[in-house]
Structure formats: C-alpha cells, structure tokens
Amino acid sequence: MKIVWFGHSSFKITTRDDISIVTDPYESGAFGGALNYKPIDTNADIITISHSHADHNFIQAVSGNPEVVRESGEYTIKGIKIIGLDTYHDKSKGRERGENVIFIFEADELRIAHLGDLGCEPSPNIIDVLKGVDILMIPVGGTYTINAKEARDLIEKIAPRIVIPMHFKTDAVEFPIDKIDAFISEFGKDHIKNLNTSTYDTETDGFPEETQAIILKPLRM
C-alpha cells in the first residue's frame, strides 16, 4: 500500500490491487487564499469527506468518476471495507463547527484510520473501534482540531503502529494553527521519523516494533 500526502488532510491511498482512495480533497486557494496548497490533480475510485468545509470537500479536484462517501456507516466499495464514525469538529458537540466523520479503511490486511477534523476526544466506544489500527492519520494543529498534546494523548489510547500527523501549519497555510514542531515536541523525537518525501510505502518502509510517527512532506506545496 502506498500513501501520498497532498497537503492539509488530503491523502491518496493506493492498494496492491491499484484501488485508490482520496481523503478530504481541499480547494486550492480556499478561505481567501489562507489554504494555498497547489491544486490536487489525480484520479481515484473512492473519495471520503469528513465534513463539508472547503478545505476538505472539493471533490471536483479528483477525476475518474469516484464514489463519494460522506456519512457514517459501513460500506464495501471495490473490495475495500469502509467504516464511518460520527464525531464532532469542536468540543461543544458540533455547535461551533459542526460534525466530523472518522473513516476506517480495511485493505491489504491493514486498518487505516483518517480522523478528519476531529475537534474533541471521541467517545470510549469509538476509541475502542480505533484501537490497534495499523496507520492513524491525525490532526495536530489545534484551533480547529485537537492540538498536539490532545493528539498525543489520543495516540496513547489507540496505540497504532504508524502515526501520520496532518492539518498543521506549513508555508502554504495561513490558518492560526501550530506547526509540526509542537507535535514533535509532545511526541518525542526518538519516536519520529522524517521521510523527507510525500509518500509512505508500507512494503518498503515497513512497520516499527513500537508506535512511530512518520512526517511526510506535502506533495502540492
């Protein structure tokens, strides 16, 4: 399986059978240019949308007539099992920024979780479902999502094999959110690997014995 980070919360996950999923495609230039990653230019079989904000909901960026999944529930599309779990984009049960859907993908004998714009700790039941996922894509920038400390605490409860932080400030982001440094400080440098690339390949990069965070470089800078 290959995972490519376009930027912000958008990834392309491609299985051994060449089935592809794009998560939370952003609109380049959204919010008056506050999100300035270059446009996504790819095709996919499946798109998942965690919520309807412009930096997560621009399905027009993806070609190939993909099937779009926006809601919680259980789906099987092209042999990939997808589980959507309802959560919130804030700590006020959605009253500030609405709801958020976590998606879990089961493919290539792996479980991958994309937490979207999670803004609070999920319920114990949802944490139980997430426990032991192989790969966890988690927001760490704060303000609109959980912050670095909250992400670290949640990672300890879920205990994934690989963590991929997302939704943090880069040179292409003008939102008032934290840079990746805050997460590195919280998580500890000894448990972080900077690949200096946009792609994580489970076949070549493998899995460590203990939980490790993989820092990717946005493809569309």
State how far the Cα of 11 lies from the Cα of 94, in Å rounded to an integer: 25
Class of domain 2-215: alpha beta
**Cβ proximity of 79 and 19 under 8 Å:** yes
Question: Which parts of the chain register pLDDT below 50?
Answer: none
Q: Cβ contacts of residue 137 below 8 Å, gap of 6+?
A: 9, 11, 23, 112, 113, 114, 115, 164, 166
3-state secondary structure of 168: coil
The pLDDT of residue 106: 98
Q: Using one digit for the tens of pLDDT, what is the confidence trace for 117-154? A: 999 999 999 999 999 999 999 999 999 999 999 999 99
Backbone angles phi, psi at 184, to 5 degrees: -60, -40
pLDDT for the residue 206: 87
Please return the burial class of 92, using the count of CB atoms within 10 Å of its CB with bins 0-12, 13-18 and 19+. Answer: exposed
How many Cβ atoms are within 10 Å of 159's Cβ, its own excluded? 13
The identity of residue 89, as a single letter, is H
In sequence order, the 6+-apart residues with CB closer than 8 A to the CB of 189 are none
SS3 142: coil
Q: Where are the domains of the chain?
A: 2-215
